[in-house]
Structures are given as C-alpha cells and as structure tokens.
Structure 1
Amino acid sequence: MQCLFGFVFILLLLRSGVSEASDCESGAENQPKVARTIWVDQSGKGDFTSVQKAIDSIPSYNNKWIRIYISPGIYREKVTIPYDKPCILLEGTHSSLTTIEWNDYNETSESATFSSFPDNIVAKAISFKNFYNIPPAVVDGNNPVVPAVAARIYGDKSAFYNCGFFGLQDTLWDVEGRHYFHGCYIEGGIDFIFGSGQSIYESCAVNLTLGKYAPEYPYGFITAQGRNSSSDPSGFVFKTCAFLGSGETYLGRAYGPYSRVIIYRSVLSDMIVPAGWDAWDYAHHEGNFMYVEHGCRGAGANTSGRVPWMTQLSAYQLSEFVNLSYIDKDGWIDKLPIQP
C-alpha cells in the first residue's frame, strides 16, 4: 500500500466539477423503492451479459434507485461506477454464487476489481475478488505480496450487505465517506482493510489468510486507518465481528497521524499478536491515535500485553461510535431501498 492522499485530493478536485446529486427519490410515504430493474445474465437471458455494460446504460445524474440484478456466475471484469451515476443497487443471489473478479496488481489507484465513486450506492449478496495474490506469484524464486485491491469505495452513504471481499494485500480500500458493512466477509493478510472511511462494520467475518497464502511473512496487519487530524470524523468501528484465520497478525497499524479503530464486543482468535497495534510511520505520536478494544472475547482478546497507548473510553464516549448515529445522523440508511 502506498500513501495516496495526494491522489485522493486530485480526485476530489475533479469531483467538485460534477454537480452533487441529491438524495435518491423515495416512493409513497417516503418509502424507498426501486424505479426499475436491469438484469445481468451471462447466458444472454437478461438485458446485459456484463455488469459494466449495465452500469453504462444508466443515465448520468440519475436520482431514482435502479437495481442491477446479477444472476449467479463469475463475472471476470473490472467494474467502475463513475461519480455521475448515484442511486444504484447491485444485487446478487448470494455472495458464494455471484462474483465479480479480476487479477490486476499495481498501485492501489489502478488495481481495483470494483471501484465505486458516487454517493448512494448499495451492494448486496455479491463477492468482489482480486485473485492476483491468491496465492502470490512466484518471481525469481520469491513470492512477493503486492497491492491488489478487490474494492475501493469513495462515495458517501454507501452500504454493503452480505458481500464478500477477497484479496491478500489491500483487499478493501475504504477510501472516504460514510459506509456501512453488515454481515460481510473480508479476507486478506496485509493492510486488508485500509483508508480514511468513516465506517461501521457490523456482524462481519474478518479472515486472515497470510498463513495460508504467504506463511513466510511473520505477521500481518488487518487494518490501516488513515485519519489525518483531530477534527477528521473518520474511523473504523467493528461491532460484533469475528476475527479469525491462519497466521499471526496485528489488529492494525497507523496509516494516518490520528488513526482510529474501535473493536467492540467481537471475537478475537489467537492469531492476534499480544501487542495488538503498531505505530508504523508515526512512532512517538501514539498519543494521537484512538485504538480501542471493548467487551471482546476469545483467545486473542487478552489485552494485558497490548501497547501502553491503547485508548480507554467511557461508556458515553464509546456510544458515540458504536451506535449507527456515528455514520447516520441524517437517517440515510433507512432511506436505502434494501435492508440487511
């Protein structure tokens, strides 16, 4: 993973030239509804055989929810939802049956299988996979693990229900904005949930695969959160999740000088190294971090060996992050056309 804050800034400037889309229109009594459905089916029975072609067919600045239903299958394509196409629901049959996959690698800004740029995007029951590192390619007798992003999420008010994210390094780039992940499966080995998103991961399974695919690495890192200042609202909150897998790993390392990760009432297996957290390039600035573990259980939940700069929050302070209001003060989740 590389420091790409400059790249993100440039994209924000480009985005400023696009008219901001209003919230997607709702139906009677303010109930969210889907205006129409586009069917993607590889056998030719639907409207399109490609997910990208279905997205391309939606008019720019659309403000009504449009469902793209994706039939079971492995769709080998890179998929991008551009900034000017909000209000899209991608829906598969099941994350084990509907997969979008590719095998690109390079800088994180180029390798993603799935990229979502606009606000108001929902995905349900789909897996996003970058299989370049699975297992790592052998180069000159070595197995180098390189950035190979499965999904990158830019837009505000984006939700993912029962989705899968597969990769090894930099699997899920939670770039920026408010995001909600519910019942998702995320696997990887190094910095595989990273970025500056303001996100809640609820009832998700986080699976370390470093021991399976790259056992020569002594340990991995699950998160790399990039909060930049004390006023930056971003942070990753893991609520009632399960952290499992093979190999050894830190819960996270600092991708920004005010990095923030909260793990709440989750199960931590014995793969978690005793120290738990790493300052990375921000050593001697640990007082700015917010790394919290509260009410967790499992063989890796013992905090007696953790770094001394872990944060302790009061019940009131904790509630500010673990309640949905942390990402949803304006009620956008209830306005989505689909729920968990």
Structure 2
Amino acid sequence: MATKIVSLMVFISFSSSIFSTAQSKNGRGNIKWWCNTTPHPEPCKYFMSHSHQRFAPDHKSDFRRMLVQVAMDRALHGQRQVLRSGSSCVNKWQKGAWNDCLKLYEDTVYLLNQTLQGLHGNQNCSDFDAQTWLSTAFTNLETCRDSAKDLNVTNFIFPLMSNNVSELISNSLAINDGLMEGTSYRGGFPSWVSAGERKLLQSTSLATSANLVVAKDGSGAFSSIQAAINAAAKRTSSGRFIIYVKKGLYRENIEVAINVNNIMLVGDGMKKTIITGSRSVRGGYTTYSSATAGIEGLRFIARGITFKNTAGPKNGQAVALRSSSDLSVFYRCAFQGYQDTLMVHSQRQFYRECYIYGTIDFIFGNAAVVFQQCMIFARRPLQGQANVITAQGRGDPYQNTGISIHNSRILAASDLNNILEPLSSKLTLIAWLIHQGGHHGALLILLRVHYIMVNIRIMDLLHQPEIG
C-alpha cells in the first residue's frame, strides 16, 4: 500500500525567538509547570523531556505549538509502527482493520502537519480551524480502535497504538480551547459557504457547465464516478471542479481522498441518480470501510444524489455515506440504509433539504454538523430492536463537535408506519448522547414532528453540563 510517509513534507520549525532553550526551575519557564495545566500531564512531561530539543515556552500559544509538534512526532512514529506490522497480518480481518488504521494514521499526520503550519502563520488558519483539525485527528485514532473492535482483532491492533498520541492530541485540544471563537450562519447556510457557492447550489445550469460528465449510457466522458474523481484529482487547478452524474444506478464504492479538494458531484435528483453498495460489518468490512461513498477532500459538495447501502438490517453496520470532508455541503441528497446509514465522521458539515433513512444509530459520528430542513425516516428494525436515530461520538470534552438538527421532521418510514398504525400511532425518539464509551456527546434537536410523537427522551442530558 502506498503511504504518505515518503511523500508528505512534514513542517517542523523551531524558532529561537519563540522558545527559550534555558528552562528555569520554577514557574512558566519550567516545562513541567506547563504540562501540569493539561489533562494528561505525565505523557506531556515525558515526551517533552525526551524530544530531540528541549524548550520552555514563554506564552500559552508557544506551548500549544510545542504540543502539536510532539503529537505529530508521536503520530509519525505510530504510522511507521502500523506500516511495519502489515506483513504480520494473518487473516482478512486483521488486514481490514490494518488498512483502516494505516489510512487513519496517515490522515492524522496530514492534519497535525496542517495545524502546525497554520499555527506558525503559514496559511490562513483560525484557532477554530485548529480545534477542528485536532478534533478530527483525535477522532481518527478512535475510529482505528473501533475498526479493531468491529472485526474482533483488538489484540492485534491495540498494541500498535500504545504511543500516547491520543493523550497528546487531547492536551493540544485543551490548550487551544480557550483561544478560539465559534462560527456563524448567514442566510440559512454556514458562513463558510460563500454567496457564490450558494448560487451554485441552486443553479439550474450546472449540467451544461460541468467539467466532466458521467453517464451509464456512454454519453459522458466516463461511465464510472470513481474514474471521473480520479481524473479530477490529476488536474492542475485548485478551483471548484464540477462532475455531472447523469441519471442511473451506479453500483460502485467511491472515495474522494483527503488531498482531492473542491469536488462537486451533481446528479439529476435524488430519485434519479443513485450510488449504491452493499458492504457491511457482517460481510467482513469495518464500519468505516463499509461506506458506499467515503468523502474526505476539503469543501466537497453533493447535490441531487442518493447514497445507498443495500446490505439490509440483518448485516449490522452498513454505511451509505461516510464524510470527513471539512466545510462540506450536501444539498437535496438522500441517504438510505439501516444500521449506521450516515457516518458524519468528522470536520464541519452541512446538510440541507436531505432525506435520511435508517434503523439504529443512522446518523452517527463526531463531526460538527448541522441538519437543516431535513426529513429523517425511521425504518422497521429487526424483531426486538428499537429505533435509535443519533449516536454522537465525542470522545474528548474539548472537541468542537456535535450534531444539530434544525427545523427538520422525524417520521416513520412506510415499513415502520404499517406496524405502528395498529399500535395507536406511537413513535418514540431516543437521542443517545453516549456512544461506544464516549462521555461527552453533544446533540441539539430543534424540529417539527410530523408524525404523532408521544415520547421524546434525551438520554443522560442532565449529566452533560457542557450542553447547558
């Protein structure tokens, strides 16, 4: 497997004007004093004292850069360790979890490097941007662990992760937390969706202005969506690149890599352009790798497309869309599956006028995500199962993540509605704030209930003081 270890140019810069190599025994000049202000002081002290250069920060912002640098050093070490272990995989389950973890470590190094460059002023980066990228780096490592659990290979994967990267990233999140400001919404869209892109989303002439056309009938440049994405990845320009996907059923699993930015997929409507797959955990995949579509590149946009996973309720976790795309928008799209339909994995995401179908945890992940004017359909689960709509996965109290559902409707899908009618039309919404051991879930629901809603239970809300 190709790896970013060779190709990634890691940004490491030490400036004598920022750091003083002389450490005083007490107070702010002592690195131990600074480490004691973090949630995980012992790993901080150990790795700071064992780094190839020892510095004492003059200011909190200097200490933040040091923390991110040390976290990236350890992430690089972890990436190399995972890479070396590939030859030790003895079965497809170990190999499946290994593939996830190697990719997630590569992406973590990429994000920590991006954060470090931003904190050094080499790109336009706010403290909120840094918190988002650090949050994603932390989530990536949690996802690696989840993949090992999915395939029951924790004994193989967990020893590869005993390098304190999560604790060091957690320290970086805590120190950066007090320095950031939030984002805002204008005209119904997040502030990071420009006026031009809002017009683009509502344009009626995108098909004629597309850079590439995909068509099942051979009338386009490509018959495969992935082939078009691969072609777009080779372009020399960095602006918005529009791929028009004509109506049809596309049976393929697609990926938009972390370094493939500004891609826009435009379909003929959610009932006409459908991307479908059938991977599932019971079928031998991890939740992460089961996705019909996996999106990571910056500022991805999709309009008028259905993302579907047809594995069915008996096959467990089966993702239709997994998004880790920062500043991404999904407009008038549909997401169809059963358990774990929509994986809002990480970063900042916005969904407007979308349709989402599932049974259990079918909106889940650790993104900072807003669903606005969406239709959420609970489908009929297996006998003995209950419908659980959201599973927010925040694993660290300083992550700037959460799920917000605004001005949307939760309904019973037709298969569930048929069995609810004889039961006096009662539907219970359960919003879980704790998912797979996380203790810092954040969920906000502001919605119109179209179906008869008898019980609304926000579990463990009183135990979440940061929600208010």
TM superposition score normalised by structure 1 = 0.70
- CA deviations over 1:70-93 (Å, ceiling 9, x no partner): 000000000111111111000001
Q: Does 1:15 align with 2:110?
A: yes
Partner of residue 258 from structure 2, selected from 56, 68, 83: 83
1:171-320 aligned at under 5 Å gives the runs 171-209=341-379, 211=380, 214-245=381-412, 246=416, 248-253=427-432, 254-255=434-435, 256-267=438-449, 269-270=451-452, 274=455, 276-279=457-460, 287-288=463-464
Aligned to 1:139: none
Q: How many residues align?
A: 266
Q: Which letter does structure 2 place at the counterpart of 1:87?
A: N
1:275 and 1:289, CA in 2 relative to 1: closer, same or farther beyond 3 A?
A: farther
1:168 and 1:31, CA in 2 relative to 1: closer, same or farther beyond 3 A?
A: closer
SS at match of 1:84: coil
Aligned to 1:146: 316
Q: List gaps (5 residues or longer) in structure 2.
A: 1-99, 125-193, 201-205, 421-426
Aligned to 2:27: none
Q: Does 1:53 align with 2:232?
A: no
Q: Which letter does structure 2 place at the counterpart of 1:244?
A: L
Q: Which letter does structure 2 place at the counterpart of 1:86?
A: N
Partner of residue 71 from structure 1, selected from 246, 252, 262: 246
1:36 and 1:208, CA in 2 relative to 1: closer, same or farther beyond 3 A?
A: closer
- Which structure: larger Rg? 2
CA contact (8 A) 2:263 2:299 kept: yes
Q: Which letter does structure 2 place at the counterpart of 1:43?
A: D
Specify which structure has the bigger relative contact order, considering alpha-carbon pairs within 8 angstroms and separated by 6 or more residues.
1
Offset, 1:229: 3.1
SS at match of 2:316: coil
Q: Which letter does structure 2 place at the counterpart of 1:251?
A: I
1:249 and 1:52, CA in 2 relative to 1: closer, same or farther beyond 3 A?
A: farther
Q: List gaps (5 residues or longer) in structure 1.
A: 1-5, 24-28, 137-143, 280-284, 291-310, 314-340
Offset, 1:155: 1.6
1:71-150 aligned at under 5 Å gives the runs 71-106=246-281, 107-133=286-312, 136=313, 144-150=314-320
CA contact (8 A) 2:332 2:352 kept: yes
- CA deviations over 1:157-211 (Å, ceiling 9, x no partner): 00000000001000000011111000000000000000001011000000000x2
SS at match of 1:231: coil
Q: Which letter does structure 1 place at the counterpart of 2:225?
A: V
SS at match of 2:255: strand
TM superposition score normalised by structure 2 = 0.52
- CA deviations over 1:40-70 (Å, ceiling 9, x no partner): 0111111100000000001357511110000
1:229 and 1:59, CA in 2 relative to 1: closer, same or farther beyond 3 A?
A: closer
CA contact (8 A) 2:273 2:306 kept: yes
Offset, 1:17: 8.4
Offset, 1:18: 8.1
Offset, 1:30: 8.9
Partner Cα separation in structure 1 for residue 114 and residue 317 of structure 2: 32
Identify which range, 249-258 or 65-74, moves more after superposition: 249-258
Q: Which letter does structure 2 place at the counterpart of 1:10?
A: Y
CA contact (8 A) 1:145 1:168 kept: no
Offset, 1:9: 5.7
Partner Cα separation in structure 2 for residue 145 and residue 190 of structure 1: 12
Offset, 1:218: 3.9
1:199 and 1:120, CA in 2 relative to 1: closer, same or farther beyond 3 A?
A: same
SS at match of 2:226: helix
CA contact (8 A) 1:197 1:236 kept: yes
SS at match of 1:170: coil
SS at match of 1:267: coil
SS at match of 1:207: strand
1:216 and 1:31, CA in 2 relative to 1: closer, same or farther beyond 3 A?
A: closer
Q: Does 1:164 align with 2:343?
A: no
Aligned to 2:24: none
Offset, 1:118: 1.2
Partner Cα separation in structure 1 for residue 253 and residue 382 of structure 2: 29
